[in-house]
Chain A
Amino acid sequence: MAEQCTVSAFVERKVDADSFTIRYLAASPQSNGTDPLICIHGAGGLRLSPMHEMLARTHRLVAFETPGFGSSPANERSRDMAELAATLCAAVAALGIRSYNLMGTSFGGNLATHMALQEGEKVQSLILLSPAVFRPAERPAMGTPEQRREVMHAHPERFPLAPSNPEVDSKQETLVRRLIGPPRDQTLEGKLSGLSVPTLVVFGTEDRLTPPEMARFYRQHFGNAHLMLIYDAAHLVDLDRPEAVTEVVGDFLARKERFLVSERSGVIHP
């Protein structure tokens, strides 16, 4: 069962990097020995889900607000995804983090992929939730709140997305449209086979924005990708089925590719 987190493990901080002041939310539980997990949000902006809170019980988490999102000023300086990724890499470095795990959601999955390409061996594992590296040519209609909810959620009754601010939405959407690039970016695809970092690619089976049929492209192009489909979840996998996502992400963070081999006991009674 998910727990409604009334007291968050996260605190808000800011860091200066690449001439941006970047807001971030950080949780620092007693170390379990693994590298910190850097989280890059999607096109909707920085948000924490039950998944983040559950992971934060055992992992140091840093969730950045990408420049141009949320309450930060409009970002008209970053010229492309690679440049925005470089800013976030600088933010990681400014926190003194030399080795880390990286998780990107949707648009943030695209950014995280660029970061992993730039950071090389600093990134110990890459986790992509409903990533937008490869996208279908057509997007489902999301003009009304109802349409948006239907596309984003399979189970809005569980952890609904908080209402957004239209002005912020507009600023973010302008930035995303300007930077994200084509649904299939040949230049980026050409670089992916060299990305040997253990990569977990997570899709909801009911995702209509980045449908699970996109998942196969990650296997075909990334150097070391493992696909995981979350049954009965839509684009916001970590809100629709946070426990299921947390379990597999936690296992991948702990064991990388060896997560393939189950360590869960099947004993019913001793």
Chain B
Amino acid sequence: MKAALFNPIRYGGPAPAGWPVAPSAYDLEIGRRSLLGGLENLRLADELGFDWVTVAEHHYAGFSLTPNPMVLAGALTQVVKRAKIALLGPTVPILNPVRVAEEYAMLDNLTGGRVIAGLLRGTPNEYVTYNINPAESRDRFEEALALIRRAWTEPEPFGWQGRFYQYRSVAVWPRVVQTPYPALYMSGSSPESGAMAARNRIGLGLAFTTVPLASQAAKFYREEANKLGWNPSTNQVLYRMGFHVAETDEQAMTDMVESGAAKPHVGLTMANKAVLAGAMSSGYFGKAAEEQKERVAPRDATERIEKGQILLGSPETVWKQICRVRDEVGAGILDLFPIVPIADRTRRSIELFGERLLPRLHEN
């Protein structure tokens, strides 16, 4: 197995709930410390032997200070010397796909071919960000994926007359380093997305879900791929979850409680009722609309452990929780994000994971 440290770069100060959040709540010094602290945690993960470091795209709230993960990845190319840099990722349907292809190519050059190219559909609120119709997200995504692949591999300038995108000429410089292009992943909790990942022969990322639902989605993806005559490797299934490791189970739970992270919280998808209602009526969640409620239901720490949404406890306890994810989901890559927003305890958690759990994980 492999482990990635995902850092959404949360804003470290108080901020109102909801989405979007008024920029007036942003404190410059706290924001700067949050960004630099995030970079330092990812540098530490590289030093400790994490296989990947991961960044993502979210807008308009303190949940994440990386509206453009490409910019943070650019900074990471200068401090992460060994690990792969995974972008999971740009929210492709709301972006200019040629620009995405160009930025990935730059990062692949700056890292000497250590970029993992996630192409995500994102959370529904992100469609408000650039005023894109979420009902068309899947079709936009699939066309953008085809265009980005073509932009990375076509040796001559070409035009593109798509359904959603038109270009008279595309010729990406620099070219990507990896052959034929960086490893691709997309999110695939719904049957529609799982089938899309299978027919496009790309990796599957399962995030902000539960182990039973992820297990079901991974099984579906593998079955769809088999029908098309290929077998996804273990490393083509990624499972993202929260984690906090301390010396003892008691200390881990104390850290959760003291930081306020043990309480149920509402994620971005549910933070704005009007946006959620709009997304639901647009069919954004596809056939898995009912399961989406189960995925994002607010839960306390104990329930989140039971559902396999977080790893929490001593290294020994966390190892058992990891084995469950490995056995039930079959994920080859764990994409782990810190859940205790206290800087020194997060750092200690990353160190404990690196020192006590990474060696065992790599043996499996």
Q: Which residues of A contact B (CB under 8 A)?
A: 219, 255-258, 260-270
**12 other A-B residue contacts (CB within 8 Å) besides A261-B275, A268-B162:** A258-B278, A260-B275, A260-B278, A261-B124, A261-B128, A261-B274, A261-B278, A262-B132, A262-B134, A263-B135, A267-B136, A270-B163
Please name all residues of chain B whose beta carbon is closer than 8 Å to the beta carbon of A255 when the two chains form the complex: 278
Contact, CB under 8 Å: A260 / B163: no
Chain B positions within 8 Å of A268 at CB level: 162-166
Central interface residue in A219, A257, A266, by most chain B CB within 10 Å? A266
- Determine whether B179 belongs to the interface, using a CB cutoff of 8 Å to chain A: no
Q: Which residues of A contact B78 (CB under 8 A)?
A: none
Take A219-B22, A266-B140 as given contacts and tell me if A261 and B134 are in contact as well, using a CB distance cutoff of 8 Å.
Answer: yes
A264 CB contacts on chain B under 8 angstroms: 133
Contact indicator A260/B140 (Cβ below 8 Å): no
* B166 near A265: Cβ-Cβ < 8 Å: no
Give B116-144 interface residues, CB cut-off 8 Å to A. Answer: 124, 127-128, 131-136, 140
Q: Considering the complex of A and B, which 7 residue pairs feature the smallest CB-CB distances, nearest first?
A: A261-B278, A257-B274, A258-B278, A262-B133, A262-B131, A260-B128, A258-B274
The smallest C-beta distance from A252 to any residue of chain B, in angstroms, reads: 11
Q: Is the interface of A mostly helix, strand, loop or mixed?
A: loop
Q: How far, in whole Å, are A260 and B128 apart by their CA atoms in the complex?
A: 6
Residues of A within 8 A of B161 (CB): 269
Q: A268 CB to closest chain B CB, in angstroms?
A: 6
Of all chain B residues, which has the CB nearest A198? B274
Binary A-proximity of B137-178 (CB < 8 A = 1, otherwise 0):
000100000000000000000000111111000000000000
Which residues of chain A have C-beta atoms less than 8 A from B163's C-beta?
A: 267-270
CB <8 Å contact, A263 and B282: yes
CB-CB nearest in chain A for B278: A261
Instruction: Report the Cα distance A123→B34, complex, angstroms.
Output: 44
A261 touches B136 (CB 8 A): no
Q: Which residue from chain B places its CB closest to the CB of A216 in the assembled complex?
A: B24
Contact B274 A267 (CB under 8 A): no
Give the residues in chain A near B274, CB-CB below 8 Å. 256-258, 260-261
Closest to A270 in B: B163
Residues in B neighbouring A263, C-beta threshold 8 A: 133, 135, 282
Q: Can you offer 11 A-B residue contacts whose CB atoms are under 8 A?
A: A258-B277, A258-B281, A260-B274, A261-B275, A261-B279, A261-B282, A262-B133, A263-B133, A263-B135, A266-B164, A267-B136
Q: How far is the CB of B113 from chain A (nearest CB, A)?
A: 33
In the complex formed, the residue of B with least CB distance to A257 is B274
Interface size counted on chain B using CB atoms at 8 A: 26
With a cutoff of 8 Å between Cβ atoms, the chain B residues found around residue A260 in the complex are: 128, 272, 274-275, 278
Q: Which residues of A contact B281 (CB under 8 A)?
A: 258
The verdict on A266 contacting B166 (CB below 8 Å), with A260-B278, A261-B128, A261-B275 known, is no
- Cross-chain contact A266 with B136 (CB below 8 angstroms): yes
CB closest residue in chain B, given A219: B22
Nearest residue (CB) in B for A226 is B274
B275:A265 contact, CB within 8 angstroms: no
Bound Cα distance A270, B22 (Å): 39
In the complex, what residue of chain B is closest to A255 when comparing beta carbons?
Answer: B278
Residues of A within 8 A of B279 (CB): 261
When distances are taken between beta carbons in the complex, the residues of chain B under 8 Å from A256 are 274
Asked whether B132 lies within 8 Å of A266 as measured between CB atoms, the reply is yes
Chain A residue numbers with a CB within 8 Å of B272 are 260
Contact yes or no, A262 B164, CB < 8 A: no
User: Quick one: CB contact mask for B285-313 with A, threshold 8 Å, 1 for yes?
Assistant: 00000000000000000000000000000
Q: How far is the CA of A264 from the CA of B136 in the complex (A)?
A: 9
- On chain B, the residues within 8 Å of A257 by CB distance are 273-274
Shortest C-beta distance, A12 to chain B (Å), equals 38
A256 to B281, CA, bound (A): 14
Complex-state Cα separation, A256 to B124, whole angstroms:
18
Nearest-CB residue, chain B, relative to A268: B166
Residues of B within 8 A of A270 (CB): 163
A263 to B281, CA, bound (A): 10
Chain B proximity of A74: nearest CB distance (Å): 44
Contact A265 B22 (CB under 8 A): no
1/0 per residue, CB under 8 A from A, across B3-23: the answer is 000000000000000000010
Shortest beta-carbon distance, A122 to chain B, in Å? 21
Q: Report B-chain residues with C-beta under 8 Å of the C-beta of A266.
A: 132-133, 136, 140, 164
Bound-state CA distance A150–B165 (Å) is 41
Chain A, Cβ-Cβ closest to B274: A257
Chain B residues contacting A262 (CB-CB under 8 Å) are: 127-128, 131-134
The residue in chain A whose Cβ has the minimal distance to the Cβ of B277 is A258
Hey, which chain A residues are within 8 Å of B132, CB to CB?
262, 266
Task: Name which residue of chain A comes closest to B164, CB basis.
Answer: A266
Give the residues in chain A near B162, CB-CB below 8 Å. 268
Looking across the interface, which residue of chain A has its beta carbon closest to that of B134?
A: A261
CA–CA, A262 and B93, complex, Å: 13
The complex places the Cα of A52 from the Cα of B127 at a distance, in Å, of 30
Q: Note all chain A residues with C-beta closer than 8 A to B134.
A: 261-262
Distance from A263 Cβ to chain B, minimum over Cβ atoms (Å): 6
Q: Are B127 and A261 closer than 8 Å at their CB atoms?
A: yes
Q: How far is the CB of A141 from chain B (nearest CB, A)?
A: 32
Q: Which residues of A contact B277 (CB under 8 A)?
A: 258
Contact present for A265 and B136 (CB under 8 Å): yes
Given contacts A219-B22, A260-B128, A270-B163, whether A265 and B133 have CB atoms under 8 Å apart is yes
Contacts of B136 in A (CB 8 A): 265-267
B278 near A267: Cβ-Cβ < 8 Å: no
A269 to B133, CA, bound (A): 16
How far apart are the CA atoms of A197 and B134 in the complex, in Å?
26
